[in-house]
Structure 1
Amino acid sequence: MVHNWIKRILQVSYRLLAVAVFLLIWEVAPRIGLADPTFLPPFSKVFTAFIDLISTGELFKHLYVSLRRSILGFSLGLAVSVPLGLLIGWFKGFEYLIDPLLQTFRQTSTLALFPVFILLFGIGELSKVAIIFWGVQWAILLNTIAGVKNVDPLLIKSAKSMGTSPFILFVKVIIPASVPSIFTGIRLSATTSILILIAAEMIGASAGLGFLLYDAEVKYQIPRMYASIITMSMLGLIVNYTLVAIEKRVTRWKEETAVV
């Protein structure tokens, strides 16, 4: 038991080694003149600014606002993209009809459309949720379509040979087999939703992580600026690993099938 714990600690330490080296270089470089401490302060100063943001509660206020916007826009995109992707991937006629329009929309830069969303929905919450909704849906949609199209033909033939109806085939075979690909799109879109939101908050907002970053930059509070960037990175990591854990739990049947 103790041996397993030691082995686990060594594995975690090894995985964090590159991060530790990076932080060490960040701390030392400005102090020995390899970087200008005005624009790249030592990591210890950034960490102090990060702790100050936590102790005052300001970080949690901005984090709450950003998460609320991101989750709402992401949830709307998920609710639209998954059903639409399943339909497009399964019904070739529908795909043939709608694919040119989807490809046109997909090639349009999300942030380039932000002024349009502001004109349509104003500078308040709705425009930010709308731009997140628009930006996150494409990775989910395309991965859902790919998941449906890449279902093993043998599974489909086996189900049909047993007299399975098209509806049951779609529900019992196509959708479960598409789940891993759908989760890949969800993970990509979850990170994208945060990035889009940060950019949107930097353009027009009075709260949120993007506003915190922009406000620190304008006021030349460099350690505070880097602290907000670190917060965004940590948020992205937490979201990604949370989705990975959920995916493993949902697709546990794949591992059981492989073992059998």
Structure 2
Amino acid sequence: MRAARVVGRLTWRIVRPLAAIAVILALWEIAPRTGLVDQVFLPPLSTVLQAFADLVRNGQMQDHVQASLTRALTGFALALLTAVPIGVAIAWNRLVADLLGPVLELFRNTAALALLPVFILILGIGETSKIALVVYAAFFPILLNTISGVRAVDPLLLKSAASLGLSPVRLFQKVVWPAALPSIFTGIRMAASSSILVLVAAEMAGARAGLGYLITAAQQNFQIPQMYAGIIAISLLGLLFNGVLVAVERRLSRWRTA
């Protein structure tokens, strides 16, 4: 009986979010067919899925996803490799914080998309400007959460570790990094979603491939089902990004459930 209750709770935990999604998808299919919305501007879900399948079948979807993924992953990786060390340095060293703090505060309050024309003028309309924009958008969420995570480490833990004679490197490795990791991963997940959104907007402004280009080209040619297929692809890509990062975070934070 107890096992049945456990299975029932687990099943409900899985079914509950799926049920909400199913209701939304059902409304998407029913509303255009019953005339609640114009099918020209919002085709039924089945029509959009057929357009999605056609794009996959002829290889266009794979080409656009590959172009967007390459740009997003490159920019995201560069932001991650720079933001985490800089964030640790700012949180750990007062001199570095005093030097870099005002400059970073100025730029973090400037929207990434507002700088798109600047990136295009300086770096051109090619791949470099798009990757640079992704780096800019992803950099600050990772940086700020890294600073917050390192500074939030319990001082008692630091004093206890120092009293045991740990070197600064071992102190960071054994105490600071594990304690700051959840906050850092929060920033990484925020940066991942920001990088995709900013990249899509940049591809809409000037690109010959990518999901942003697919959506814009479909809208301009009044291929509305293909436009929604591109939007669905972006959503699936965002879910994939988030799922991978959650899995990595759980693997690196196994000690929290031990």
| Same fold (TM > 0.5) | yes
Distance in 2, Cα, partners of 1:170 & 1:250: 16
State the match for 2:143 in structure 1: 141
Structure 1 residues 153-203: Cα deviation after superposition (integer angstroms, max 9, x where no partner): 111010111122333322332122211111111111011111111000000
State the match for 1:185 in structure 2: 187
Aligned pairs for 1:1-260 (under 5 A) are 8-256=10-258
Distance in 1, Cα, partners of 2:57 & 2:10: 32
One-letter amino acid of the counterpart of residue 157, structure 2: L
Provide the alpha-carbon RMSD of the alignment. 1.7
Structure 1 residues 24-52: Cα deviation after superposition (integer angstroms, max 9, x where no partner): 11111111121111111111111111111
Distance in 1, Cα, partners of 2:52 & 2:169: 53
- 1:33 aligned counterpart, secondary structure: coil
- 1:40 aligned counterpart, secondary structure: coil
One-letter amino acid of the counterpart of residue 251, structure 2: R
Unaligned 5+ runs, structure 1: none
- What's the CA shift for 1:5? 7.1
| Structure 1 residues 2 and 152: alpha-carbon distance in aligned structure 2, compared to 1, 3 A threshold | same
* TM-score between both structures, scaled by the size of structure 2: 0.94
Unaligned 5+ runs, structure 2: none
- Alignment size in residue pairs: 256
Structure 1 residues 53-102: Cα deviation after superposition (integer angstroms, max 9, x where no partner): 11111101100010001000000000100000000011122212221111
Runs of at least 4 residues of structure 1 off by over 3 A?
A: 1-11
- 1:39 aligned counterpart, secondary structure: coil
Distance in 1, Cα, partners of 2:174 & 2:39: 59
- What's the CA shift for 1:116? 0.8
Distance in 2, Cα, partners of 1:212 & 1:110: 22
One-letter amino acid of the counterpart of residue 180, structure 2: S
| Identity among equivalent pairs (%) | 50
* TM-score between both structures, scaled by the size of structure 1: 0.94
Distance in 1, Cα, partners of 2:64 & 2:170: 46
- What's the CA shift for 1:2? 9.6
Distance in 2, Cα, partners of 1:47 & 1:102: 44
| Structure 1 residues 7 and 254: alpha-carbon distance in aligned structure 2, compared to 1, 3 A threshold | closer
Distance in 1, Cα, partners of 2:243 & 2:168: 36
Distance in 2, Cα, partners of 1:36 & 1:124: 37
